[in-house]
């Protein structure tokens, strides 16, 4: 009788950076050129199931119910190869990943995707009889970083600081959770612009292109440490206004560096600017509201639990904003189901 393949499922939340990661010092190991700081969000969840199976000829990946493209599959196989090497396992894996996002929105799901895959695949490899690869949260963050730089932050919940590190092997480039009195109070209002059409430039290529061609890139890299220090001091002091101000300024500086690249990388649509104007108007009217944007046209607004509904209603009324949702701080990536330990009768699989 062929035994059914046992699978392990993990869950991770995406994160939105308040001090952005935009540029690498090593593209192969995904080592950031500077640190970053983010908020993990409960409304943006990826659930990923992994089962290693000696009967498979190659890895399989189903994303949101459909077979992945060859490019997505190749990136996943490269990531699983790291787990196989650590576990001394040769079996291929079947990976089924689902995003519970506000919509098929073009919001970066690589952060939650690779954090969930790192957690599920390491646990599944141990369950499949590989050498134990039960990793510490820090080691999981380092592994997730190999899939996508921002994924290193999604291993943790709440506010997270990403260390750029300076070692060549990346052992000091990982995320670390930051305690703050703001964690419970903050909300992020996510305004989808343009119905979530696929973004024009992936972050991976666009940040490399900015680093290679933008006359503003050097200024951007010099700015980040100051913004990180300001953001960390604001978090420690529970000062949302100071955090919001530096987050909005930092996002605009990142986009300025991308816009100055040759040729330009412009993510904004007219409705992006209209939403930004609305955020400034909300602030002038006394609401807590500060905007940030990533590698797409959407606007995310840092606010409080008390102001979130009013901020969301105002953004819903902006022409070209197609969907608005409210997120609170999310928790760390975690295994949600794993195979039952082998019974005495079956015995552990021999390696």
Rule CB under 6 A: say whether 21 interacts with ligand PMV. yes
Closer residue to ligand PMV (CB): 34 or 121: 34
Helix (H) or strand (E) holding 40: strand 36-53
Rule CB under 6 A: say whether 204 interacts with ligand PMV. yes
Closer residue to ligand PMV (CB): 47 or 292: 292
| Cβ pair 291, 251 in contact under 8 A | yes
In the complex, the smallest distance separating the C-beta of residue 243 from ligand PMV, rounded to whole angstroms, is 15
Rule CB under 6 A: say whether 109 interacts with ligand PMV. no
In the complex, the smallest distance separating the C-beta of residue 15 from ligand PMV, rounded to whole angstroms, is 7
Rule CB under 6 A: say whether 122 interacts with ligand PMV. no
- Contacts to ligand PMV from residues 50-89, by CB under 6 A: none
- SS3 of 214-270: the string is CCCHHHHHHHHHHHHHHHHHHHHHCCHHHHHHHHHHHHHHHHHHHHCCCCCCCCCCH
In the complex, the smallest distance separating the C-beta of residue 17 from ligand PMV, rounded to whole angstroms, is 3
Closer residue to ligand PMV (CB): 48 or 126: 48
Count residues near ligand PMV (CB under 6 A). Answer: 15
- Contacts to ligand PMV from residues 126-185, by CB under 6 A: 148-150
Q: Which of 58, 45, 67, 178 is nearest to 116 (CA)?
A: 45
Rule CB under 6 A: say whether 295 interacts with ligand PMV. yes
Which residues are registered as beta bridge partners of 16?
A: 39
Closer residue to ligand PMV (CB): 52 or 114: 114
In the complex, the smallest distance separating the C-beta of residue 50 from ligand PMV, rounded to whole angstroms, is 21
Closer residue to ligand PMV (CB): 35 or 130: 35
Rule CB under 6 A: say whether 232 interacts with ligand PMV. no
In this structure, the dihedral spanned by the alpha carbons of residues 209, 41, 141 and 150, taken in order and rounded to 10 degrees, is 0
Closer residue to ligand PMV (CB): 125 or 251: 251
Burial class of residue 92, CB neighbours in 10 A (0-12, 13-18, 19+): middle
Cis peptide before 16 (omega within 30 of 0): no
Closer residue to ligand PMV (CB): 7 or 36: 36
Burial class of residue 168, CB neighbours in 10 A (0-12, 13-18, 19+): exposed
Closer residue to ligand PMV (CB): 108 or 333: 108
Q: In this structure, are strands 299-304 and 290-292 parallel, antiparallel, or unpaired?
A: antiparallel
Rule CB under 6 A: say whether 302 interacts with ligand PMV. no
In the complex, the smallest distance separating the C-beta of residue 100 from ligand PMV, rounded to whole angstroms, is 18
Which residues are registered as beta bridge partners of 98?
A: 47
Q: Which of 12, 11, 16 is nearest to 187 (CA)?
A: 16
Rule CB under 6 A: say whether 108 interacts with ligand PMV. yes
SS3 204: helix
Closer residue to ligand PMV (CB): 53 or 208: 208
Q: Which of 48, 15, 73 is nearest to 123 (CA)?
A: 48
- Position among 8, 9, 110, 322 found at the interface with ligand PMV (CB under 6 A): 110
Which phi and psi (to 5°) does residue 144 adopt? -60, -35
| The token pair that represents 91 in the structure block | 């079996």
- Position among 203, 250, 303, 322 found at the interface with ligand PMV (CB under 6 A): 203
- Position among 60, 227, 294, 307 found at the interface with ligand PMV (CB under 6 A): 294
Rule CB under 6 A: say whether 258 interacts with ligand PMV. no
Give the side-chain half-sphere CA count within 13 A for 82. Answer: 21
Q: Which residues bind ligand PMV (CB under 6 A)?
A: 17, 20-22, 36, 108, 110-111, 148-150, 203-204, 294-295
């Amino acid at each position: 009788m062929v035994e059914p393949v046992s699978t392990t499922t993990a869950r991770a939340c995406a994160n939105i950076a308040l001090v952005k990661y935009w540029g690498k010092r090593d593209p192969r190991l995904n080592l950031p050129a500077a640190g970053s700081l983010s908020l993990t969000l409960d409304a943006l969840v990826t659930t990923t199931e992994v089962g290693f199976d000696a009967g498979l000829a190659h890895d399989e990946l189903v994303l949101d119910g459909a077979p992945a493209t060859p490019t997505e599959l190749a990136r996943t196989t490269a990531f699983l190869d790291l787990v196989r090497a650590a576990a001394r396992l040769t079996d291929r894996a079947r990976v089924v990943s689902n995003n519970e996002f506000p919509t098929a929105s073009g919001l970066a799901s690589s952060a939650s995707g690779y954090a969930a895959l790192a957690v599920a695949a390491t646990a599944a490899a141990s369950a499949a009889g590989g050498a134990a690869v039960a990793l510490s949260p820090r080691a999981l963050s380092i592994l997730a970083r190999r899939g996508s730089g921002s994924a290193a932050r999604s291993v943790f919940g709440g506010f997270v600081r990403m260390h750029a590190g300076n070692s060549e092997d990346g052992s000091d480039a990982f995320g670390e959770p930051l305690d703050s009195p703001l964690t419970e109070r903050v909300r992020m209002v996510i305004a989808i612009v343009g119905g979530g059409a696929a973004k024009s430039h992936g972050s991976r290529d666009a940040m490399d292109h900015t680093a290679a061609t933008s006359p503003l890139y050097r200024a951007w890299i010099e700015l980040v440490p100051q913004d990180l220090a300001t953001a960390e001091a604001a978090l420690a002091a529970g000062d949302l206004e100071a955090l919001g101000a530096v987050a909005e300024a930092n996002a605009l500086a990142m986009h300025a560096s991308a816009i100055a690249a040759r040729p330009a990388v412009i993510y904004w649509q007219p409705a992006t600017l209209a939403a930004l104007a609305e955020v400034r108007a909300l602030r002038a009217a006394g609401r807590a509201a500060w905007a940030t944007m990533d590698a797409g046209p959407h606007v995310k607004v840092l606010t409080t639990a008390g102001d979130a509904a009013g901020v969301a209603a105002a953004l819903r009324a902006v022409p070209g904003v197609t969907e608005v949702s409210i997120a609170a701080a999310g928790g760390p990536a975690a295994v949600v189901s794993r195979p039952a330990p082998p019974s005495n009768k079956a015995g552990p699989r021999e390696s």
